[in-house]
Amino acid sequence: MAIELKVPEVGESITEVMIGVWKKNVGDPVSADESVVEIESDKATVELPAPSNGVVSAILKQAGEQAVVGEVIGYLEAVASSQPTPTTPESPGSPQAQSVDVRHRVGSTVIGSVQPASGAGPVMPAAARVLGEAGVSPQSVSGSGPGQRVTKADATSAVSASPSSTLSDVSSVSKPVMTGTTAISSSETSRSERPVLMSPMRRRIAERLVEAQHQAALLTTFNEVDMTAVMELRKKFKDNFVDRHGVKLGFMSFFVRAAVEALHAVPQVNAEFRDPHIVYRDFCDIGIAVGGGKGLVVPILRNAEQMNFAQIEQSIGDFARRAADNKVKLEELQGGTFTISNGGVYGSMLSTPIINPPQSGILGLHAIQERPVAVNGEVVVRPMMYVALSYDHRIVDGREAVTFLKRIKEMIEDPTRLMLEC
């Protein structure tokens, strides 16, 4: 019995998505709740699980194609849970084999579950595409996959070993381009282009950044922070912190706590412009920008004012791990009253971060570098960090912005004030 694979609900107001990576090809067996395909929206990537044991019998939407919520993008041929999931193809005349024999056309090449005349296993879609582009006959390739399926690796090896491929490679290298009296091989003057479809998340990031530039009155102010005290405090207590809480004591927890205190002192930075009102908040939902598998994401630390150092570090570590695997939940990315972005982990010395609308401020952290500074009339070398606050000038005046950054500086340079909240 064929089961429809439909695009699930991925969030409020989201109606269109892009099909991501198919983790299973036509003919591949799947177990109940096993991920079949990734679904990409403008806010997050979710995985579509198999509703039951079975075999993928058809793929209607390929990776990169658009689909709407509720649309059928493939079919699964169900298998009773008490029966073993088949790993070999059925006989050519069986209904299962007919349902697996699905083809898709790309250009003039037909790809899909191609049955070679030699009696070998089917050619998987990715393998068929590689062979079709190289002009290599699927009948000439032996399969190493389950049931003698021809995999993408088999196809790549066959293309590399084919005489036509070798001849093509040789001819492309041997054609010189004459420039004056010097011959330059064409491989040295390659000017190829590779159009890659933007993911919904990347498009949404672009839209939000442009929206911020067009709708907010952006301005950035800077300061520098002496990191000596924080670094000494971390060094003194890092082992005890790990033993007690099971997580390392990082710099971010200090800046989150400092930001909470600064937001309380300067509530304009934590406010939102809703014409004709300014909405002030008594809570701090702080977004932490982390690099994910599909791009930058900003999960939210809800009620950060109620979190201690260990809770902040544990939450940030969990976000970072799940963001790398695109496992951050959609609701964890929504909302937020203020954002912290740490470009220093990538080596950034100074930047002007862009706010995440409708927020009114974002704190940019940068790399720590030893620099000569004047302390008590003497020149000493200290680990210094530049910090930047970009803010919406419609709500935050320069005085408030400078006061905010100065408060951050005071808290970091004397971290005992974070414990005493003074």
Residues annotated as catalytic are 393, 397
Cα distance between residue 358 and residue 279, in whole Å: 11
Ranges assigned E (strand) in 256-375: 272-274, 277-279, 286-288, 290-292, 295-297, 300-301, 338-342, 361-375
φ/ψ (deg, to 5) at 400: -65, -40
Cα distance between residue 120 and residue 130, in whole Å: 18
Rg (CA), the chain: 28
Q: Is 150 exposed, middle or buried (0-12, 13-18, 19+ CB in 10 A)?
A: buried
Three-point CA angle 401, 287, 321, nearest 5°:
145
Q: Confirm if 19 and 67 have CB atoms less than 8 A apart.
A: yes
Q: At what angle do helices 152-161 and 125-134 cross, to 10 degrees?
A: 20
Q: Is 317 exposed, middle or buried (0-12, 13-18, 19+ CB in 10 A)?
A: middle
Q: State the first-to-last Cα distance of the chain, in angstroms, to the nearest integer.
A: 67
φ/ψ (deg, to 5) at 323: -65, -35
Among 132, 129, 113, 112, which residue's Cα sits nearest to residue 121? 113
Among 64, 133, 57, which residue's Cα sits nearest to residue 102? 57
The residue type of 92 is P
Q: Confirm if 32 and 56 have CB atoms less than 8 A apart.
A: no
Handedness of CA 75, 80, 86, 91 (dihedral sign): negative
Among 298, 265, 290, which residue's Cα sits nearest to residue 411? 265
If phi > 0 it is left, if psi is from -120 to 50 it is alpha, else beta; for residue 255 that is alpha
